[in-house]
Amino acid sequence: MAAADVATATPNPALGERMRQRPNLLLLISLLSGAITHAYHTFLYPLYITDEGIYTQQAWAVLREAALSPYTYFYDHAPFGWLVMAAWANVLPNQFEAFGNPINTMRVLMVVAHVISTGLLFGIVRRFCNSSAGAFFACFIFNFSPLAVYYQRQVLLDNLMVVWVLLAVYLIARNGDRVVTAISAGLAFGLAMVTKENAVFFLPALAYMAHKYSKDSRSRRFQTSFWWFGAGIPVGFYLLFAALRNELLPSGMNFDLNAPQAKHVSLLYTIWWQSNRTGISGRELFVRLLENSWMSRDSIILIGGLIAVVVVLILWSQDKSRTGYLVAGLMALGYGVYMARGSVLLDFYIVPMIPVLAMNAGLVFGTLMKSVPRPLQVAATSCIVAAALVIPGGYFLSHNTQGQIQVHDLYHLQVTPLQTRQVEWVRANIPANARIIIDDDIWTTLHDKPPYFPRAHSHFKAASDPAVRDKLFRKNWANIDYIVMSNKMRQAMERNNTGGQEQWMLDAIDQHGERVWDLNRGNIHLSVYRIVK
């Protein structure tokens, strides 16, 4: 062999080391950028919302009352999400007040969850398409998308569920040919389902993945069986918990949604109620949210992600060995069915779709980049990232109502201090023993930090929980002392009043309410009413 041939065949240690370091550097950049975009301004924007308050108060009940809810737990969601939140608060100094107020404390947990999800997403895309550029691109979208940042800062069970789903996918993608990996992946997916039940729509994709990745293994039967066993453990414990409390089935096996549950709550009744909730047509609501909420925040990830799903499925059809491509496409299709199924839909239900769309986009980008030289990969990726950040209407700059260029609201608009001022006024001017109707976003603040307001209750509970409605307020406006109105709380009360259950509270505002404090800033309206007897 010629000397030149020997030199060419001999590995270059320096080059090999640089190639090993490159993915680690891209991963580090992805983790840091995710932490920055989600942590910066998270205490100030967006507004605290009702659902953040609900999950925080349930975590509060776990630590303070050794219960799953400060009210009757009626299985509206499986509890693992707020058990994690309670564990988070328990290890912090000052617990729920560690970062100023309870929702802020839980928003820090959401940042931690996002960073973990980013690392898992990077690993999944890299394993599926063998491209660090594709993994980095997927994480860039996941970290900088205004749609992602807006919802992933909020204290939502969906954000915690995403961590477990991505962990389940990542563990299978490791393809370690070990039973312990299979059961761990199944267990992770089971924890996702008892964090937020809509994780079940990822089941077809993950079950197929568990089967396919064990196909050539000598322990295939064990791996597949143990994946299902692992997934069933958390769900089984949840069902057993309800059964031991005699709350699995409704009394008398009565599933009539027009009749309230008698004697006790029921897990299966609540599941039946959740799946049959009515209101605005689900498809009409989907279109409304798509046009007015999701597309206005980030049309790039929605349109580009949808195109990416189609391309990924085409790429898989051309090369059936790309199992990860089919899994990514099936995950998008499965959750898409859930989104468009025609039932009640809330705006933050989009959360689990965001990493899935980013995953598909990363696979497409990674596939394209593998066909070009490495310097061109770096140049192309840098140009796309720079364009997304510097072009108005992209991921960092936007136009305000006057058409002027500014950084996105996510990074400069301060709105939660308005809610803080409302709480401060309540503490300074309302007696601690007053009977108060509130929204859930300030519930934990008023119950966890002195002066305590033990008779401050959510309007939802005042309308539906017999212990609050019938014993404290007796469904009579004269038993209300104050009503603290959060932003858009009036609309929520009217939507929840289909059976007249909130009418006595609305009458208290309209016929007997004296506005003693209010604050208006743009489209944000906060107020406090004293009910005049």
Summarize the confidence of residues 29-42 as an average pLDDT: 97
Question: Which residues lie below 8 Å from residue 259, measured CB to CB, with a gap of 6+?
Answer: none
pLDDT for position 6: 34
User: How far is 533 from 475, CA to CA, in rounded Å?
Assistant: 15
For 219-267, the pLDDT digits (tens) are 677 788 999 999 999 999 999 999 999 999 888 788 877 777 777 889 9
pLDDT for position 16: 43
Contact 285, 345 (CB under 8 A): yes
CA distances from 134 to 233, 359, 378, 514 (A): 34, 9, 11, 58
Summarize the confidence of residues 84-95 as an average pLDDT: 97
The residue ranking higher by pLDDT, 205 or 176, is 205
pLDDT for position 5: 40
For 319-336, the pLDDT digits (tens) are 999 999 999 999 999 999
pLDDT for position 259: 74
Among all chains, which residue has been given the structure tokens 């969850």? 113
Tokens of 144: 């900088």
pLDDT for position 375: 87
Evaluate if residue 70 carries a pLDDT over 60.
yes
For 482-505, the pLDDT digits (tens) are 999 999 999 999 999 988 999 999
pLDDT for position 20: 52
At 20, phi and psi to the nearest 5?
A: -75, -30
The residue ranking higher by pLDDT, 273 or 321, is 321
Contact 485, 527 (CB under 8 A): yes
For 456-484, the pLDDT digits (tens) are 999 999 999 999 999 999 999 999 999 99
The residue ranking higher by pLDDT, 284 or 235, is 235
CA distances from 400 to 38, 407, 408, 413 (A): 21, 9, 9, 11
Evaluate if residue 183 carries a pLDDT over 60.
yes
Summarize the confidence of residues 517-529 as an average pLDDT: 95
Q: What percent of the chain has pLDDT over 70?
A: 93
Q: What percent of the chain has pLDDT over 90?
A: 75
Task: State the chain's mean pLDDT as an integer.
Answer: 91
Least confident of 278-287, 396-405, 433-442, 520-529: 278-287
Summarize the confidence of residues 178-198 as an average pLDDT: 94
For 355-384, the pLDDT digits (tens) are 999 999 999 999 999 988 888 888 999 999
Confidence of residue 21 (pLDDT cuts 50, 70, 90): low
Summarize the confidence of residues 20-43 as an average pLDDT: 91
Confidence of residue 174 (pLDDT cuts 50, 70, 90): confident
For 441-457, the pLDDT digits (tens) are 999 999 999 999 999 99
For 136-162, the pLDDT digits (tens) are 999 999 999 999 999 999 999 999 999
| CA angle, residues 482, 422, 481, in degrees to nearest 5 | 5
Beta-carbon count within 10 A of 74 CB = 18
